[in-house]
Structure 1
């Protein structure tokens, strides 16, 4: 009965009412005061082309990666944190999110040329979406994040093959594994561009697994993550907490600066934990509790607890994008590489628990040197030793290469 109830709850809360097929471009409005602006982005995907201008790419796995330049028009009078989906097609740029430009690219050189033309080309944001997303879902969500945050960075979307079906969890998870080399190569290509100064990776939900796997592969090949990848932000990461500890170790040192947005009331991660054997997901832990607090702080990982943040997301799974305060934090501070070290950080009401501290204590965690691998494990501490069981502890002196055979 519990399993049935969970499944029904998730289906009801994740059912989408917006129209499909929003990728066909409409004429761009010029000088219309009802239009707030536009977002230009580069989209890399491992999806299969759909053969339709309305969708561009479907949820199946492609035989090769594709690059596309896309422009999204943003309407005025919209509540921050929301995606204004059209009620009918074609969309009206005065009231709806609307695609106004689509250009397929045949070579990496075209992508680099596009990047050099962007005003914020020296800083790159790579966004990786989560489970149950169409190509259009991911494009509109990134456009919303970029516009609402006022970030000074060039947006790049990496979208992987999701069938966008609530029953497709296992297919989507395998699709992230299918795409990890594609993401690794995309990050390498971006880092190899002389015009790119630094890169921030922002991953949501199941996309966090993909991000960690790509960074882990890069670390195993090179001994460390490319130094241009300065920041990694994981929002509601749908990752087994024990697996995350291994991934973190194996990407080598020095590592990028990590920030994790967590929420213990995340219903989507609760369902994921049920499906995957009742092991806690990284995005649903309470970072103020031990052993998590000490180990996150030792690893230099900033953990921001969003449990008390209220948004219109019934699953409490998209708070990072739907909270104006959080999306501003991402755009104005984290992407620019600023550690949260001063007491002037204003995150809004309820956003206080940061690895057991308050807003003014964020810096103590963010500024910690990343001197030892994370030892985050699910098992409780031994009452006698105050240490996790030996078989699940990652020794602080253990090098990543010792874990790889």
Structure 2
């Protein structure tokens, strides 16, 4: 049944979104009740969870989707089942409580962190040898436990070597509360800035990576813009910004970059032209392109990306279990490992390291391939990498390849 006056495509997208989330309704409430143990064979992920949500008395829920009065911190340890009992890229939600830690995600402990000073002490204790911090900002339609368990999965599956911090803002976790969620990101900008400044002010922290998803990318980039305007630049310790499926108006993003300035962190985007959630967002946001759906090889985006030195990973052809194609960055084993092994470590992704049109686990595009196979790789490969260096090298490679094929054809025909 559609709402009178609602465009058919919008109604169908809302229905698809509702169906894709129907599994959430069957999950038990209160998964954050700690069980106090992590059995042999399981892995644990220790997270510092910062939130602007209002607390709730419901056991194991901790925080609601309403807005709180300040930034609150929790130290939450999550256990992950053995790899033989799970599919990498997925959160194995408990079917009932208490959870079975050998088959499902489970909460080991929840500890209040009472002050910013205690938060900095947590960071100091959990910093690895490289002294990196990873801050994750979730997207639209997320409950508190969604953000905690999803980030635990990303940290574990990407084998991230960094102190793990998740910032969760007030979301009512309903596809019909898009506007409320968007205003909640605006409400949370100052708190996210406070969290980032606390990490920056922790002496042992050497660098910070921000990874944001969906609507959370708006919050992350707006906060960086705010910091740049306040300080004249983004603080140097913030070195990497990863935007996954960014629900950002492309025109607004261009203005945000201008305000952030030239001396900015390294930006990496994960985009997918078949992202159905962003199709819905575009429909309700004035029909302006969303950053997470662009074709980075086409103008005007190619020039903008090259000018700004932004790397884009196009996941359009990658298939995962997400019916909306909005969470590919977290559900693909190859992509989450790329995040952990390269991006968070600060490596620049270029054709010399990853390769234009690289198929994960396969041979990168080379000059020995035919025009037909090269073209098919560019179209069908799950991950195609675009950055200024890669684009220039690829264009030169393509010209050499075309010339080589042309010479071969002339020789073969005797002309």
TM-score (norm 2): 0.83
Query: Which ranges of structure 2 fall in alignment gaps of 5 or more residues?
Result: 1-7, 363-380, 395-415
Equivalent residue in structure 2 for 1:330, among 324, 333, 339 = 339
- Residue 313 (str. 1) matches residue 305 (str. 2): no
Pair 1:363–1:316, CA change in 2 (3 A):
farther
Pair 1:362–1:156, CA change in 2 (3 A):
farther
1:97-108 aligned within 5 A: 97-108=105-116
Instruction: Verify the 8 A CA contact 2:63 2:144 in the aligned structure 1.
Output: yes
1:3-402 aligned within 5 A: 3-15=10-22, 16=24, 17-30=26-39, 32-33=40-41, 35=42, 37-76=43-82, 77-120=85-128, 122-341=131-350, 343-345=352-354, 348=360, 350-355=381-386, 361=390
* Secondary structure of the structure 1 residue equivalent to 2:119: helix
Instruction: Verify the 8 A CA contact 1:41 1:70 in the aligned structure 2.
Output: yes
Structural RMSD (CA): 1.8
**CA deviation after TM superposition for structure 1 residue 119, in Å:** 4.7
Q: Deviating runs (4+, > 4 A) in structure 1? A: 362-365
CA deviation digits over 1:363-405, x for unaligned, max 9?
A: 969xxxxxxxxxxxxxxxxxxxxxxxxxxxxxxxxxxxxxxxx
**CA deviation after TM superposition for structure 1 residue 248, in Å:** 1.1
Instruction: Verify the 8 A CA contact 1:128 1:204 in the aligned structure 2.
Output: yes
**CA deviation after TM superposition for structure 1 residue 169, in Å:** 0.6
**CA deviation after TM superposition for structure 1 residue 3, in Å:** 2.9
- For 1:129 and 1:310, locate their aligned partners in 2 and report how far apart those are by CA, in whole Å: 21
Higher CA-based Rg: 2
- For 2:391 and 2:113, locate their aligned partners in 1 and report how far apart those are by CA, in whole Å: 42
**CA deviation after TM superposition for structure 1 residue 298, in Å:** 1.3
**CA deviation after TM superposition for structure 1 residue 5, in Å:** 2.2
- For 1:137 and 1:168, locate their aligned partners in 2 and report how far apart those are by CA, in whole Å: 17
Corresponding residue for 1:377?
A: none
- For 1:39 and 1:364, locate their aligned partners in 2 and report how far apart those are by CA, in whole Å: 40
- For 1:195 and 1:289, locate their aligned partners in 2 and report how far apart those are by CA, in whole Å: 42
- For 1:156 and 1:352, locate their aligned partners in 2 and report how far apart those are by CA, in whole Å: 27
CA deviation digits over 1:235-281, x for unaligned, max 9?
A: 00001110011111112230000000000000000000011111110
- For 2:97 and 2:246, locate their aligned partners in 1 and report how far apart those are by CA, in whole Å: 33
TM-score (norm 1): 0.85
Q: Which has more helix, going by share of residues?
A: 2
* Secondary structure of the structure 1 residue equivalent to 2:188: helix
CA deviation digits over 1:70-92, x for unaligned, max 9?
A: 00000012110000000001112
CA deviation digits over 1:272-295, x for unaligned, max 9?
A: 001111111000111111111121
CA deviation digits over 1:18-38, x for unaligned, max 9?
A: 2232111012134x23x2x10
**CA deviation after TM superposition for structure 1 residue 105, in Å:** 1.2
* Secondary structure of the structure 2 residue equivalent to 1:102: strand
Query: Which ranges of structure 1 fall in alignment gaps of 5 or more residues?
Result: 366-405
* Secondary structure of the structure 1 residue equivalent to 2:253: helix
- For 2:107 and 2:272, locate their aligned partners in 1 and report how far apart those are by CA, in whole Å: 32
Instruction: Verify the 8 A CA contact 2:311 2:387 in the aligned structure 1.
Output: no
Instruction: Verify the 8 A CA contact 2:127 2:133 in the aligned structure 1.
Output: no
CA deviation digits over 1:211-242, x for unaligned, max 9?
A: 01100100110011010000000000001110
Pair 1:364–1:23, CA change in 2 (3 A):
farther
**CA deviation after TM superposition for structure 1 residue 196, in Å:** 0.5
Q: In terms of mean alpha carbon deviation, does 5-14 or 104-113 score higher?
A: 5-14
Alignment length (residue pairs)? 360
Instruction: Verify the 8 A CA contact 2:51 2:169 in the aligned structure 1.
Output: yes
